[in-house]
Amino acid sequence: MEEIRGTEALEQEILGDARKRADRIIRKSDDDVNNLHAQTDQKIKEAVDALEREYHAKRETAEREMRSRLPLERMRLEIEYRDTVLRKALQETLAAMDPRLFGAWCVRQLRREAALVRDSVAKVTVQGLGAPTVQEIRALFADAPSVSVEEPVSMKVRGLSVEPADNSYHISITEHELVAWLLDEKRGELGAALFGSTL
């Protein structure tokens, strides 16, 4: 009987030790889990803080760059606007110009190349210059039977064009060339007249 009691006491002692160990293991596991949660939370917080710092740094850099570009962008837009207005004003002025004045400019430009044209077989195509200008061009090449003067309806821009039969040169004297010349040579004066300052 005493052996049974001794065995039961031993069993109880073993079970008690096992419970204590299990409780320690569980407590340690809980502590490890809590530590792991705390470490994970800390790492997540550090990662979020790092991302926020990086975001703020990038945002500040982007804002600085944008602020530094604004004056240049404003200047670019102003120049673009002035150029558009100037080109439009030139086009409107040329459209309203007396055809004889524009024709006189075309003939003056053509006279500079007249010797080259006379020495070749060429076709002078004229558009929108009026009968007196066409007669003046015909008179300019009256002594050159190899040069013909034509007024085709296919030419889209006002002015004249010279094309030799051998394609060795090409002369174009049109509104486009006049606008380009004015913008190249007289932009400052035109800008001052139009805007009160140079472009």
Q: What percent of the chain has pLDDT over 70?
A: 93
Q: Which of the given ranges, 35-39, 80-84, 94-98, has the highest pLDDT on average?
A: 80-84
Residues 128, 99: contact at Cβ < 8 Å?
yes
> If you count DSSP H runs as helices and E runs as strands, how many of each does the chain have, helices first?
6, 4
Q: Which residue has the higher pLDDT, 18 or 110?
A: 110
C-alpha pair distances (Å), 146 with each of 1, 40, 106, 115, 143: 147, 94, 21, 13, 9
CATH class of 98-195: alpha beta
Residue ranges with strand state E in the chain: 122-127, 147-150, 159-164, 171-174
Q: Is the pLDDT of residue 90 over 50?
A: yes
> Is pLDDT at 2 greater than 70 in this prediction?
no
User: What is the biggest distance separating any 2 CA atoms in the chain, rounded to whole angstroms?
Assistant: 153
pLDDT above 50 for 199: no
- Name 161's bridge partners: 125, 172
What is the pLDDT averaged over residues 177-198?
79
How many CB atoms sit inside 10 A of residue 195's CB? Answer: 14
Residue 198 clears pLDDT 60, i.e. is over it: no
pLDDT (tens digit, 9 = 90+) per residue, 114-127?
888 888 898 998 88
The residue ranges of every structural domain in the chain are: 1-96, 98-195
Q: pLDDT category, 49, cuts 50, 70, 90?
A: confident
